[in-house]
Amino acid sequence: MPDKDLTTLTIRRPDDWHLHLRDGNMLRAVLPETARHFGRAIIMPNLVPPVVTAEQASAYRDRIMAALPDGMQFEPLMTLYLTETTDPDDVRAAFENGIATAVKLYPAGATTNSASGVRDFEKVRSVLDTMAEIGMPLCVHGEVTDSNIDIFDREAVFIDKILKPLRKKVPDLKVVMEHVTTEDAVDYVRDNHKNLAATITTHHLIINRNHILAGGIKPHYYCLPVAKREAHRVALVQAAVSGDKRFFLGTDSAPHIDPNKLQTCGCAGIFTAPNTMSCLAEVFEAAGELKKLEAFASLNGPRFYGLPASEQTITLRKGDPLKYPTHIATEDGPVTVFDPGFDLHWHVEA
């Protein structure tokens, strides 16, 4: 049946392979927005202070589960924040005991709370070797932080300067290039079949840099990596809807309260957890590939991580345009929900 005639779509329950839940009041407010539709998520460790050790990851996991409303099911897959003093034995124990699923690499200074990240990659070599040995994936924020490199070029430069040499030194390491934003990254993943995958966010499939900068600055479309020009967005859509097993959903849903977004130096991050599945259904339908949504959101991620796909399902049903709230309330202040700029017709029955 052509996509235009499809009005319902049942898929395995999706997972989010890149998510920021924060902590405290924010955690309590945003967790249900993800758990409503998603079964699992890779939880980013960039708290203040960051989640570096197995013990910290275990404690954070407990706080997440304590914040989960009664009756909701959700499995947080924890990550450890890689620093130049990370202990390989602690990483190994965290993985083997099921406390952590992956390690997160932030080049120092790349994004929100990344000051503890890595400057000298030789200092983390023993950790990377251990991860390669035990099959633990490295999630990579793929941008250089050199202030001389144009912000729109930082992902492409990262691939050449950091990622290629790193993968050459540790070829058995499983690497997830997170939130790819460029055709360069899509091509690099397509050309490298072993131990490499990429996540794509909801918003990078929908916005380009004009959305941020044309006709007045739009802080709620500002995130890192920053959205690029339209040709790159088109390449991302093609990768996402292709069914290629190396591309899967990582929303990078990253809540900040509005006062922290709307100021002279506003925070990077877009909050897409509530309406991601409705947004994605529109993107896949427009591309005529609605039936590939399950591969992107529910199948390719667990396959790369070596985990089973969900046994549960959700159903998307097409109808009148939906009204998602424009904000959610937290005890710290309101958080603006991503506005895709078009009507959302696909209702999620989870």
Q: Which is nearer to Zn ion, 110 or 124 (CB)?
A: 110
Q: Which is nearer to Zn ion, 252 or 289 (CB)?
A: 252
Per CB under 5 A, which region of 80-88, 102-110, 247-255, 308-316 contacts Zn ion? 247-255
Does position 339 bind Zn ion by CB under 5 A?
Answer: no
Per CB under 5 A, which region of 101-109, 233-241, 251-259, 284-292 contacts Zn ion? 251-259
Q: Which is nearer to Zn ion, 100 or 316 (CB)?
A: 100
Q: Which is nearer to Zn ion, 46 or 330 (CB)?
A: 46
Residue from the set 143, 184, 252, 285 that interacts with Zn ion by CB under 5 A:
252
Structure tokens at 217: 């600055």
DSSP track, 188-216 = HHHH--SSEEEEE-TGGGT--HHHHHTTS
Min. distance of Cβ 296 from Zn ion in angstroms?
18
Active-site entry in 16, 184, 244, 252: 252
Min. distance of Cβ 20 from Zn ion in angstroms?
6
DSSP track, 223-289 = -SSPP--HHHHHHHHHHHHT--TTEEE---B----HHHHSSTTPPP-BB-TTTHHHHHHHHHHHTT-
Nearest Cα neighbor of 33 from 4, 80, 1, 67 is 67
Number of residues forming the site for Zn ion (CB under 5 A): 1
Q: Which helix (H) or strand (E) holds 112?
A: none
Indicate the pairing of strand 75-81 with strand 102-105. parallel
Q: Is 252 a catalytic residue?
A: yes
Min. distance of Cβ 252 from Zn ion in angstroms?
4
Per CB under 5 A, which region of 180-188, 252-260, 327-335, 338-346 contacts Zn ion? 252-260
Per CB under 5 A, which region of 167-175, 200-208, 215-223, 244-252 contacts Zn ion? 244-252
Edge-to-edge strand order for the sheet containing 40-43?
A: 16-19, 40-43, 75-81, 102-105, 138-140, 175-177, 196-200, 247-249
CA separation, residue 36 to residues 100, 251, 256, 265, 277 (Å):
23, 15, 20, 32, 11
Min. distance of Cβ 30 from Zn ion in angstroms?
13
Min. distance of Cβ 227 from Zn ion in angstroms?
14
Residue with tokens 């994605």: 280
Min. distance of Cβ 44 from Zn ion in angstroms?
5
How many Cα atoms are found within 13 Å in the side-chain-facing hemisphere of 227?
28
Q: Which is nearer to Zn ion, 19 or 235 (CB)?
A: 19
Alpha helices in the chain (DSSP H): 24-35, 54-67, 88-96, 125-134, 154-158, 164-169, 183-191, 209-213, 230-241, 258-261, 276-286, 293-294, 300-305
Per CB under 5 A, which region of 97-105, 162-170, 245-253, 306-314 contacts Zn ion? 245-253
Q: Which is nearer to Zn ion, 228 or 292 (CB)?
A: 228
Annotated catalytic residues are 252
Interface with Zn ion (CB under 5 A): 252
